[in-house]
A and B are shown apart, each in its own frame.
Chain A
Amino acid sequence: MSKKFSLHVNMDSFLPATEEEKAYMVQMRPSSTFFRDGVKRLLKNKVATVSLIVIVAITLASIFVPMFWPYSYESMLGVSPGKPVDASYNNLRPFQYGATEQAKLAAGERVFPHVFGTDSSGRDYFIRIVYGTRISLAVGFFASIIVLIVGLTLGSIAGYFGGKVDMIIMRIVDIIYSLPDMLMVILLASVLKVSLGPVIEGTALARIGSNIISLFIVFGVLYWVSMSRLIRGQILSLREQEYVLAAQAAGARGGWIIRKHLLPNCISVVIISTALQIPNAIFTESFLSFLGLGVNAPMPSLGSLASDALNGLASYPYRLVIPAVVISLIVLSLNLFGDGLRDAFDPKLRT
C-alpha cells in the first residue's frame, strides 16, 4: 500500500490492547426471565390492568366489608326473641328505616343506613349482596382449583404415557364431553342434594353446606375435561423436546420428567385456562343457586338472591338488578383479565 494517510492517530494507538480493555467492550444484558417479560407486557395492557383492579377490589370488599358492617346477613331485623315480629323492617327501600330505627333517629342517635334496603324477611340487603359475592367468588375459585388438579393430573398422565392409558382417559373425556352438561349438572346436583345431607351430618363439612359440597363434586366430576385435553396437548408437544430426552438419558423417570420439565413449561397455559375457568364456575354456581340447587338458605349467593328477587320484581326491581350487575361485573373482569394474561404469556406470540 502506498498511500498517504490523513488520520489523526498517534503511534501509541497501535499498541496491543489488553484483555481487560477487550473484556470491557463486551457485557451481558441484564437477566430477565420469561415471567418478568410477561408481567411487563400484561401491565402495559390497560384493559387487563383495569379488570385486575376491579377483581381485586371486589374480592377485598367481600372479605373485609363484613368485618365492620353493623348488620349480619342472616339476622332478620324485625325479629327479636320474645317480642312480636316487627314487620316494618321488611321490604325497606334503600335508605329507609324500620320503626325502632326511626325512633332512634328521632332521639338523635345515628343509625347506619340500609344502603340497599332490606329483603322480604327484613335482612339488610347490602350485606347479603356482599356475602353473596364472597360465596360466589369462593365457590368459583375452589371449584376451579379442583378442576385444575383433576384435569392436570389426568391430562399429564394421558399425554406422557400415551398408549392404552391415554386411550382410556381420552375416551372417558369424550363420553363426558358428549353428555349435555346443563342437564348433567342439574341432575347430579339434585341427586347429591338429597343423598349427601345425611352423609356429611355432624362432620366439619356440614358447616359448609351439603349443597356447596355437591357443587364441588359436580365440578370435580364433569368440568375437568377441557383442562385435561389442553394439558394433554401441551405435554404431547413438549414430550418431544430434546431436554426431555436429555433427562431420560440421565436416568430420570416419568414422574420426575412430568414434574420438573413438562408441567413447568405448561404453567402459562394452565394459569390462563384457570383464569378463564373461574368465571365459568361462578356462572354455573349462580344459575344452580337460581334454580334452588345451590347454596342452602340462609346463606346467600348472588344467584339465589336473584332468584328470591323474582317475587317482588314489579315493586323492587333493584333487588334483581344489583346481583345481576355484580355477577356480570365479576365474570366480565375475569374474562378480560384472562384474555390479557393469554396475550402477555402465550409463547407463540412472543417475538
Chain B
Amino acid sequence: MPLLEVKDLRTSFFTPTGEVKAVNGISFNLDRRKVLGIVGESGSGKSVTAYSIMQILASTGKIVGGSIKLDGQELVDAGEKVMKTVRGNRISIIFQDPMTSLNPTYTIGHQLMEAIMLHTDRNKQQAYDRAVEMLRLVNINEPEKRMKQYPFEHSGGMRQRIMIAMALACEPDILIADEPTTALDVTIQAQILELMKSLQEELGMAIILITHDLGVVAQMCDEVIVMYAGSICEQGTAEEIFYRPRHEYTKGLMRSIPTADTAGTKLHPITGTPIDLLNMPEGCPFAPRCDNAMKICLTQRCERMQVNDEHQAACWMNVKAGVEDGSIEIGGEDGDADA
C-alpha cells in the first residue's frame, strides 16, 4: 500500500471576486522512502496541494472534494484532532522563506523543544537532548550554543537547516518541502539539497519536493509530477519526464529553459501568459498557449492515461498518436481511461 494516496483532490479558494479552483482534481501516490517532485509555475496549485495535505489552508480555502489517505487513514474531513496528531509528527513541512517561518521572539531551542514536547512524551531535559541531537544531525556546529540564540542571528542557510531540524524532530514519515531552496544562494542550495538527500537515506522518510526549478528536480527526485493551473499534466519517473515528456506543456518547458548547450541560440519559449485562475476556460487549461492545440483541446479536458508502466499523461496528442498508429479505437463501448 502506498504511504500517501491522493485521489481526485479538489481545493478552491472562495474570494470576493469568485471561486478560484486552485487544485482541480489531482491524483497521485507516494511510496515509502521515495522523493516525489511536484513541478509547476505560479498558479499551478503545487503549494496548495501541500497545504491541502497538511490542511493548513488560508481561511478562504477549502478542500471541496477528493480523498487523501495516509497509510490507509482518510485525512479529508478527519477533523482537527486527528490532523493535530499528523502535523509535525507524521507529516512535516518546511517552507520557502526561512526568515518568516521562524518566530523571531523565541530562541531556537525554545522552538525546537516546543515541537518535540508537543508530539512526543519527552520531558524537558529529554526534549533538550533531542533538540541538540537534531541540530547536530543537520550539520550545525556548536549546537548547544545555538539553542540559546535567536533566529535573526543566523543566515538564510542556517535558518533553513534549523527548519529542517524542527521538521524532522519527531521523525515524520513524510517531509514536505515547499520551495526550500528558492530563496537561497546557489552554493548554499547545494549544501541544503545534499543534506536533505543524506537525511532521507538515513532516516528512511519520503519527501515531497515542491519547486519550479527543473534542475533541482532532476538532481533530487525519483518521481515527478508536472502541474499546470490546478491539474496534473503528467507524472512518472524523472527519466521518463525529462527524456520522454508526453504532455505539450512539459515539452514546451523542457525546450524553453537555457542549458549549457543553448548558448548563442534562440530559446523556444512557450507563447502567451499564464492563466487567470478566476477566468478558466473550458477544456485543457494549457490549450490557449499550446502550439499543437486541437479543437478538442479547447472544449474537453483529456483524462489521465497510462503511457507506459512508469508514466501517465493527460494530453490529447497522445490520443491522436494512438489513433494514428492504431493502438486506440474511438467510439467503443468497453474500456475506459486507466486511472
Which residues of A line the B interface, CB within 8 A? Answer: 1-17, 21-23, 25-27, 29, 351
Please report the total number of B residues contacting A with Cβ < 8 Å. 44
**Distance of A7 Cα from B334 Cα, bound (Å):** 10
Nearest-neighbour CB distance to chain A for B169, whole angstroms, equals: 34
Q: Is A1 in contact with B306, judged by CB distance below 8 angstroms? A: yes
- Which B residues lie within 8 Å of A5 (CB)? 319, 322, 328-332, 335-337
- Nearest first, the 7 A-B pairs at minimum CB distance are A13-B296, A4-B335, A4-B332, A25-B281, A17-B293, A2-B327, A22-B288
**Which B residues between 170 and 205 are near A, CB-CB below 8 angstroms?**
none
B295 CB–A CB distance under 8 Å = yes
Q: Is A25 in contact with B334, judged by CB distance below 8 angstroms? A: no
Given the known A-B contacts A4-B328, A22-B287, are A12 and B295 also in contact in the complex, defined by CB atoms under 8 Å?
A: yes
- Which A residues lie within 8 Å of B320 (CB)? 14
Q: Is B336 in contact with A17, judged by CB distance below 8 angstroms? A: no
Segment from B94-102, B113-121, B272-280 that makes contact with A: B272-280
Q: Is B287 in contact with A9, judged by CB distance below 8 angstroms? A: no
Q: Is B334 in contact with A4, judged by CB distance below 8 angstroms? A: yes
- Which B residues lie within 8 Å of A7 (CB)? 330-331
Q: Is A17 in contact with B297, judged by CB distance below 8 angstroms? A: yes
Instruction: State which of B16, B279, B287, B322 has its C-beta within 8 Å of the C-beta of A17.
Output: B287
Nearest-neighbour CB distance to chain A for B120, whole angstroms, equals: 38
B24 CB–A CB distance under 8 Å = no
- Which A residues lie within 8 Å of B334 (CB)? 4, 6
- Which B residues lie within 8 Å of A22 (CB)? 287-290, 293, 298
B307 CB–A CB distance under 8 Å = yes
Task: Please name the residue on chain A nearest to B276 by beta carbon.
Answer: A29
- Which B residues lie within 8 Å of A4 (CB)? 328-329, 332, 334-335
- Which B residues lie within 8 Å of A27 (CB)? 279
B333 CB–A CB distance under 8 Å = yes
**Distance of A11 Cα from B329 Cα, bound (Å):** 11
**Distance of A26 Cα from B306 Cα, bound (Å):** 30
Q: Is B272 in contact with A6, judged by CB distance below 8 angstroms? A: no
Question: How many cross-chain pairs have Cβ atoms below 8 Å apart between A and B?
Answer: 99
Given the known A-B contacts A1-B322, A14-B323, A25-B281, are A6 and B336 also in contact in the complex, defined by CB atoms under 8 Å?
A: yes
Q: Can you give 6 contacting A-B residue pairs, CB < 8 Å?
A: A1-B307, A11-B323, A14-B295, A14-B316, A16-B295, A25-B287
List 19 extra interface pairs beyond A6-B331, A22-B287, CB under 8 A. A2-B327, A2-B328, A3-B328, A3-B338, A4-B329, A4-B334, A4-B335, A5-B337, A6-B332, A6-B333, A9-B300, A9-B331, A12-B295, A13-B295, A14-B296, A17-B287, A26-B275, A26-B288, A29-B278
- Which A residues lie within 8 Å of B15 (CB)? 351
B256 CB–A CB distance under 8 Å = no
- Which B residues lie within 8 Å of A17 (CB)? 287, 293-295, 297-298
Nearest-neighbour CB distance to chain B for A25, whole angstroms, equals: 4
- Which A residues lie within 8 Å of B298 (CB)? 17, 21-22, 25
Q: Is A14 in contact with B338, judged by CB distance below 8 angstroms? A: no
Instruction: State which of A6, A12, A25, A26 has its C-beta within 8 Å of the C-beta of B335.
Output: A6
**Distance of A14 Cα from B282 Cα, bound (Å):** 16
**Distance of A243 Cα from B155 Cα, bound (Å):** 29
**Which B residues between 256 and 289 are near A, CB-CB below 8 angstroms?**
272, 275-276, 278-279, 281-283, 287-289
- Which A residues lie within 8 Å of B307 (CB)? 1
B292, B296, B306: most-surrounded residue (chain A CB, <10 A): B296
- Which A residues lie within 8 Å of B331 (CB)? 5-9
B218 CB–A CB distance under 8 Å = no
Q: Is B332 in contact with A25, judged by CB distance below 8 angstroms? A: no
- Which A residues lie within 8 Å of B287 (CB)? 17, 22, 25
Q: Is B296 in contact with A9, judged by CB distance below 8 angstroms? A: yes
B318 CB–A CB distance under 8 Å = yes
Q: Is A21 in contact with B306, judged by CB distance below 8 angstroms? A: no
Task: Please name the residue on chain A nearest to B326 by beta carbon.
Answer: A2
Instruction: State which of A1, A10, A12, A25 has its C-beta within 8 Å of the C-beta of B305.
Output: A1
A2, A22, A29: most-surrounded residue (chain B CB, <10 A): A22
- Which B residues lie within 8 Å of A6 (CB)? 331-336
Nearest-neighbour CB distance to chain B for A207, whole angstroms, equals: 52
Nearest-neighbour CB distance to chain A for B288, whole angstroms, equals: 5
**Distance of A16 Cα from B337 Cα, bound (Å):** 23
- Which B residues lie within 8 Å of A25 (CB)? 281-283, 287-288, 298
Given the known A-B contacts A1-B305, A5-B319, A14-B296, are A23 and B338 also in contact in the complex, defined by CB atoms under 8 Å?
A: no
Q: Is A16 in contact with B294, judged by CB distance below 8 angstroms? A: yes
- Which B residues lie within 8 Å of A29 (CB)? 276, 278-279
Nearest-neighbour CB distance to chain A for B311, whole angstroms, equals: 11
